[in-house]
Structure 1
Amino acid sequence: MQFAGGFFDQHLYFRKTNNSATTPWSRVLLERDNKVGIGTIDPTAALQIGDFATGTNAQKIVMPGVYNIERVALGQDGNGNSSLEFVNHSDANVSYGIKVGTNIDRYGGGLYIATAASTNDYSKLSYRDQPAIFANANDNSVGIGTNATYGYRLAVAGPMIAERIKVKQVTNWPDYVFKKDYQLPSLKEVATFIDKNGHLPGIPSAAEIANDGIEVGDMNARLLQKIEEMTLHLIQQQQVVEKLQRENEAIRQQLQKLSK
């Protein structure tokens, strides 16, 4: 193995001679103006690997691990896509992968975190079609399990669980139901509406929910309005029951007097 430096161009070359003086040299490094280039003759930074607009998969830094196919890899994935990849072992013979990067071809414009299930062969390490997390560069939105946020600040593909959720800025909270001038619909009016429409007044139908979904804060306000209206009806019914009880008691006392 031979290494040599170019006197005029400041390149570093190497070759394996194979007992032949005609074996071609391969360039390793170029140093110019305190900048080092690998695979380039015109480095623009302290260290540059490859030339601009000609990126390939070969332009990566790879640091192998201990078990199976472990590695840390940083560099190009082709077509301007780039990533930082971590491959760690599940046991001594299989490893899983996690990538953080940009991939306009697979996920669109933005930053993704993607995962690949365990395998024993790096060529079989398959990253999922949908990213675990995606930050959209166009509108600064975030997707979990999806790269399609449809204009929402946060989109989640699939079920989610949380120990606590707080919704703020819910307008028109229905305490107005308890105001004296509130027109409480009668139970007869409610029954007529239900017979005609198949759902409570002020509550979206099943078809509307299927098409538009549910806004949690708005729906909670609507449901509270129905609970408050129901409470007022119960109070009215209780007042009627108590009045009837008093009237029945008065009639009972009158009957007792007459029977003496």
Structure 2
Amino acid sequence: MNKAALFTLFSIISTIVLGQEVGDFYGSTDGTESIDLTLGKNGSGSSFKILSSDPGGSTYLKFHGRRWGAGYTWSRESNGGTDKKIAYLYGGGSGQYFQLFHDDQSVKAQFHSNGDTYFNGGNVGIGTNSPSEQLNVYSSSSGVITRFASTAHGGLSGLRVQGKTNDGSDTRFVDFFFDPETYEYGFGAGTNSGQLPISSGLSQADISVDAGGNVSLKGTTTIKGNQIRFSEARGFDYDPTKDAVFFNGYNSGQVAMLSDRYGNGWFAGNVGIGITNPLKSLHISDGSWNNQLQVDRNGNGLSFAPNPSEFYFLPVGETTKVRFNSLDVYVEGSVGIGTTSPSHKLEVAGTIRSKEVKVEATNWPDYVFEPTYNLRTLEETEAYIQSNKHLPEIPSAKEMEANGVQLGEMNMLLLKKIEELTLHLIEVNKENTALRQQLTANSQQLIEQGKMIEALMKKMKDN
């Protein structure tokens, strides 16, 4: 070891251990670099410093130590003569720590004797000298790469990854945790105001998965295979053979099929829309009577609108066409029974049975009995019948088959014929009465003549 090295080592030991002022040293082994050593006082308190400078006199690296305060500084002098701190080691009463500085004199890393260590800016690499993330752990071998361990007894151990929202108003995080007592593990996502734990069996988790892959939600909800159970037997089943979803009631088996591959569904009980206690298979209830039940296809269909005292059927987008109440039925348009294309207000393709039918009539044929009515003679009627094969003013059979019978009009025509027939009967009765009277008079005359003949014959006999 050369003299300079021995003197430097001696000076450092003397300064740190004894606090003695030894003196100054300057030397160079090859004449290209300078080594400066100062021992003894430097400002206040005992100190030492090592200066490494070029032969031209500009100092590039300084090591400065002080016994009182136990501070050690590594600094670099710029061309302008200003020192910039590179590292600092402190050994005071509050604990020992080591700091690394950037050119802007900001602390970029600190290692503290109490275990607190931080890196401020830049990326940290473990197993790599070119980390691409803030923490980059790399290994070319298999097996455990990173281990997070706790020596505490009992409780959960874990890792938290967190960040803030864009506006900085909320902190959000994901926790990964493990229970060494039960081998249960999981993770949870949350914010400042709450957390949703997801785990494998942890009792405090909102969602857990057991060894069989069954999922349990906090409470009584479980997911197992194609089943979701809320409590006991209640829940949903999926049947892959039917591609259908079923709902199970309380110990009552399947009570509804929500949908199969064709969109079909069914319910075993009553269905309520707008009501929680339906009384019928389908019970629709709403406070407004304008709400409608609409059945349509591509916008064309029928709407049903209830009213407190009546209800309506109407085509979609139109006004009332059919209205019902407790006594009456109103239909706008024609009604066909047994026919799909009625040409009259009511058209029935079949028979009608009724106790009574009332037909509105006007111009009832009482005018037949007026003195000015021109009554057709029986001879004229006979000639018309022989020529047309039906009564005057009465439609023929062909006309009735083609056009049907207007009951009101036919009743008036038949009544007119009865009235005309009545007038003919009256005339015949008058003639018969006159004939009877004539016959009675003739009979009385014959009787008188017989009596006279009988008297003459008796008289002649007596003579």
| Length-normalised TM-score, structure 1 | 0.51
Alpha-carbon distance in 1 for matches of 2:416, 2:298: 56
Partner in structure 1 of residue 367 of structure 2: 176
List structure 1 segments (4+ residues) > 3 angstroms apart after TM superposition: 15-19, 60-66, 70-84, 100-104
The amino acid of 1:232's aligned partner reads L
The amino acid of 2:342's aligned partner reads T
Alpha-carbon distance in 2 for matches of 1:190, 1:181: 19
Partner in structure 2 of residue 117 of structure 1: none
- SS of aligned partner of 2:347: strand
Q: How much has 1:158 moved relative to structure 2?
A: 1.3
Partner in structure 2 of residue 235 of structure 1: 426
- SS of aligned partner of 1:143: strand
The amino acid of 1:165's aligned partner reads V
Pair 1:202 & 2:393 matched: yes
Structure 2: give runs of 5+ residues left out of the alignment. 1-213, 216-222, 228-261, 271-279, 284-292, 304-311, 323-329, 453-463
Q: How does 1:215-254 map to 2 (within 5 A)?
A: 215-254=406-445
What is the CA deviation profile of residues 232-255 of structure 1, one whole-angstrom value per residue up to 9, with x for unaligned ones?
A: 111111111110011111111222
Specify whether residues 153 and 163 from structure 1 end up closer, same or farther in structure 2 by C-alpha distance, changes over 3 A only: same
Specify whether residues 233 and 174 from structure 1 end up closer, same or farther in structure 2 by C-alpha distance, changes over 3 A only: same
Pair 1:162 & 2:367 matched: no
Which of 180, 188, 192 is residue 383 of structure 2 equivalent to?
192
Partner in structure 2 of residue 41 of structure 1: none
What is the CA deviation profile of residues 14-35 of structure 1, one whole-angstrom value per residue up to 9, with x for unaligned ones?
A: x99759xxxxxxxxxxxxxxxx
Specify whether residues 160 and 210 from structure 1 end up closer, same or farther in structure 2 by C-alpha distance, changes over 3 A only: same
Partner in structure 2 of residue 148 of structure 1: 341
Alpha-carbon distance in 1 for matches of 2:313, 2:364: 44
CA contact (8 A) 1:63 1:72 kept: no
Alpha-carbon distance in 2 for matches of 1:83, 1:65: 26
The amino acid of 2:427's aligned partner reads Q
- SS of aligned partner of 1:155: strand
**What CA RMSD, in Å, does the superposition of the two structures yield over aligned residues?**
4.1
Specify whether residues 174 and 144 from structure 1 end up closer, same or farther in structure 2 by C-alpha distance, changes over 3 A only: same
Q: Percent identity?
A: 39
Structure having the higher strand fraction is 2
State which structure, 1 or 2, has the greater radius of gyration over its C-alpha atoms. 2
Q: Highest relative contact order (Cα 8 Å, sep 6+), 1 or 2?
A: 1
| Residues paired across the two proteins, number | 161
Structure 1: give runs of 5+ residues left out of the alignment. 3-14, 20-56, 85-99, 105-109, 112-134
CA contact (8 A) 1:141 1:154 kept: yes
Alpha-carbon distance in 1 for matches of 2:338, 2:315: 16
- SS of aligned partner of 2:411: helix
Q: How much has 1:72 moved relative to structure 2?
A: 4.7
| Length-normalised TM-score, structure 2 | 0.30
Alpha-carbon distance in 1 for matches of 2:396, 2:387: 12
Alpha-carbon distance in 2 for matches of 1:258, 1:145: 79
Specify whether residues 63 and 189 from structure 1 end up closer, same or farther in structure 2 by C-alpha distance, changes over 3 A only: farther
Alpha-carbon distance in 2 for matches of 1:16, 1:188: 103
Specify whether residues 157 and 256 from structure 1 end up closer, same or farther in structure 2 by C-alpha distance, changes over 3 A only: same
What is the CA deviation profile of residues 136-187 of structure 1, one whole-angstrom value per residue up to 9, with x for unaligned ones?
A: 8xx622222333112x22222211111111111x222110111111111111
